[in-house]
Structure 1
Amino acid sequence: MRLTLTSFALLVVSSFGQPLNDFDEASRDYTLHAVNGVDNYGQTQSSFTVLQIPDMHYTGNPKYPCNGPPFNPCWESNMTDFINELLDQVKPNIVVFTGDQVENTGIRHTAEEVKKAIDTYSTPVAQRQIPWAMVFGNHDEGSSFTRTQMLNYIASRPYAYSQSGPTNVDGKGNYELQVQTSNGKTSFRMYFLDTGVKGSISKKQNDYIRQLAASHKNENALAVMFYHIPVPEYILGPSETITYGHQGEKVSNGPQSGLMDTIVQMGDVKATFVGHDHYNDYCIERRGVQLCYGGGVGYGAAYGSSSLPRSARVIQWKRNSTDEVLTTWKQAKGDFSIEEYLLFKRGV
């Protein structure tokens, strides 16, 4: 549903029951809810759809020219148009921005310009009353508006589900979100990690998400994880063949930080989703976990190819009376067909 400017201004205050400048993160209910429906065979089904939008690199200037345009003229505003198309076509239950939302390193921004960039990418989501969450990327870093300041501002926006996370854990924005079915039980979970500017996951971060998973072990809920810079396990071996997606550039991974060992120990995470490398959109299995790229959405300051359509990723959890599945597919500019790739399946 599209809102008028007046109703959107009212929504900012009324949807959370308080003005933005009085925002209190601890007072918000961050629980998400699965959608009830029926599958193709008439069985009752619960589902939850995530739209991953990677690497936008917003400057806040709609006329910022494209780096590697697919057509001419090409501006940052083309990205906003594409995001609107994605939201209307996919109709997600949540949007997850996986880093480099703002081009805050190569361009000297003021704090107000950074806020404008955040508003530009989040407003189309909020106008449709869709929850949204994010993790930081390396380009979000900037001296004019720190990660703490950015996250405080982001968390105050309408329908934002991002959280700062524990203050004694490295990084900004380490948290989780729960998806409940109609019986009030958590059936699907999303973890979020900050990989900083170099892709490093600290021991405290590893310990934190391991402890989160341990506290949920009796729930038997499937989970996925979002972060920005890929871990070394995303690197393909010399004789390895990709069966889903393609590699268009070398993996720009962070250091070995033990995250893969942590994920395996957690047991509930069946797939991880990153950004950072705009020309990669493959999934590869490692130790029973699918490691996936989100593609590249960015027009404007984000680098792109004239031969590779901008794209985002959809992740969908579904459960009926017999099966529980995680699937994914890519949504490319100009092509909204669905070619599902099975990430995980089990009987219930």
Structure 2
Amino acid sequence: MLFSALLLQTLVSVLAANSNLFAKETCTGQSCEQSFTVLQIPDMHFTGDALFLCRDAPHDPCHESNMITFLNDLVDHVQPDLIVFTGDQVEDKEVTHNREQVKAAIDKYSALAITRQIPWAIVFGNHDEGGSMNRQEMLEYVAQKPFSCSHFGPPDIGGVGNYDLDVKDRANKSVFRMYFIDTGDSGKVSLGQNQYLQLLAASREPVPAVLFAHIPIPEYILTEKDILWHGHQGEKVSEGPQSGLLDTLIKMGDVKAMFVGHDHGNNYCIERTRIQLCYGGGSGYGAAYNKEKAPRTARVIHWQRDNRGQSISTWIQIDGNYTKSEYPLFGYKKDHML
């Protein structure tokens, strides 16, 4: 059964009250442009040990400290308005941690945003939760940190950290939206999560939106007919079970793209029923696996509105190579590509 109108109103008001994200505005003469840039950092598999040796090292010597160098340089280069960590922030499955070590790992990766006063948000992956801290405890720790935009969302619908964030213009009107869903350990999205997404979309003014999760849905699997115009496939898709999430996104009407991690060797986008399904790649050094010698990557998502209309575009950033190959996902830039 869908949530009651009163409960939904309460949830929506709480989330809206905690959102303080605003689009940048640049004016030249009578022409103004608004924009918002998101940096997706996928699959760090942080241990908190700077000297942790790299698994599948892209170069030698290689330690977890290389990841910190890469991500610091990346954030300074991109200068995002929001950093989204899309799961497996902490490696707590294959590397045993106690509670204080997990907190120390969270402290280290969140410092990328906090020291620069950049808002940041997370979804959980299947390696974050080990034997020391559960999702609820980790999100309690994350949510109280400076510049954190992460929320718990409603209880008992599946997962921890199902929520949305609105980006507003200077008139305090929503112009861009982001949804966040916890795909748990298996990738299953519950009926309650699907219903919650639809209720959130129905309660909002329609604006272009994207969704962040960790584990890909089955529609990420490529067929023989698919042509990749952006990115590449470096490994088999490790998808979650069919949970109807793509159908939900189609019904919502506002979501233009979905962004996940999980499969470190994949960084492509593929369109399914007018929704772009994109991978972020893998940013992790140290405990994170990857193809041997494969460079570590992250993804940039850019929303823009000007006198030509709105657009959402994306590009991959590679450690050591910050050239930009922009790929249009939605709006006038995509229309011009066709």
- Per the TM superposition, whether the score is higher than 0.5 is yes
Identify the residue that residue 282 of structure 1 maps to in structure 2. Answer: 268
Q: Say whether 1:29 aligns with 2:18.
A: yes
CA contact (8 A) 2:59 2:293 kept: no
Match 1:249 to one of 235, 246, 249: 235
CA distance in 2, matches of 1:124, 1:326: 25
- Offset, 1:27: 11
CA contact (8 A) 2:15 2:163 kept: no
1:238-263 alpha-carbon deviations (Å, 9 max, x no partner)? 23221111000000000000000000
Q: How does 1:50-65 map to 2 (within 5 A)?
A: 50-65=38-53
Worse overlay, 226-235 or 154-163: 154-163
Q: What is the DSSP-based 3-state SS (H/G/I as helix, E as strand, rest coil) of the residue aligned with 2:166? A: strand
Match 1:136 to one of 94, 111, 124: 124
Identify the residue that residue 47 of structure 1 maps to in structure 2. Answer: 35
1:286-334 alpha-carbon deviations (Å, 9 max, x no partner)? 0000000001100000012333210100000000123100000010011
Identify the residue that residue 3 of structure 1 maps to in structure 2. Answer: none
- Offset, 1:28: 6.8
Structure 2 residue runs of 5 or longer lacking an equivalent are 1-13, 334-338
Q: How does 1:82-231 map to 2 (within 5 A)?
A: 82-216=70-204, 219-231=205-217
Identify the residue that residue 249 of structure 2 maps to in structure 1. Answer: 263
Which amino acid is the alignment partner of residue 162 of structure 1? Answer: S
Q: What is the DSSP-based 3-state SS (H/G/I as helix, E as strand, rest coil) of the residue aligned with 1:315? A: strand
Q: What is the DSSP-based 3-state SS (H/G/I as helix, E as strand, rest coil) of the residue aligned with 1:140? A: coil
Return structure 1 stretches of 4+ with deviation > 4 angstroms. 25-28
Q: What is the DSSP-based 3-state SS (H/G/I as helix, E as strand, rest coil) of the residue aligned with 1:190? A: strand
Match 1:81 to one of 69, 73, 80: 69
Which amino acid is the alignment partner of residue 90 of structure 1? Answer: V
For the aligned residue pairs, the C-alpha RMSD in angstroms reads 1.7
CA distance in 2, matches of 1:151, 1:175: 13
TM-score when normalising by structure 1: 0.89
Q: What is the percentage of aligned positions where both structures have the same residue?
A: 53
CA distance in 2, matches of 1:229, 1:301: 18
1:266-294 alpha-carbon deviations (Å, 9 max, x no partner)? 00000000000000000000000000000
Match 1:236 to one of 219, 222, 241: 222
- Structure 1 pair 343–69 and aligned structure 2 pair: CA distance change class (3 A): same
Which amino acid is the alignment partner of residue 327 of structure 1? Answer: S
Q: What is the DSSP-based 3-state SS (H/G/I as helix, E as strand, rest coil) of the residue aligned with 2:58? A: coil
CA contact (8 A) 2:266 2:279 kept: yes
Q: How many equivalent pairs are there?
A: 320
- Offset, 1:167: 1.1
CA distance in 1, matches of 2:146, 2:225: 47
Structure 1 residue runs of 5 or longer lacking an equivalent are 1-24
Match 1:71 to one of 42, 45, 59: 59
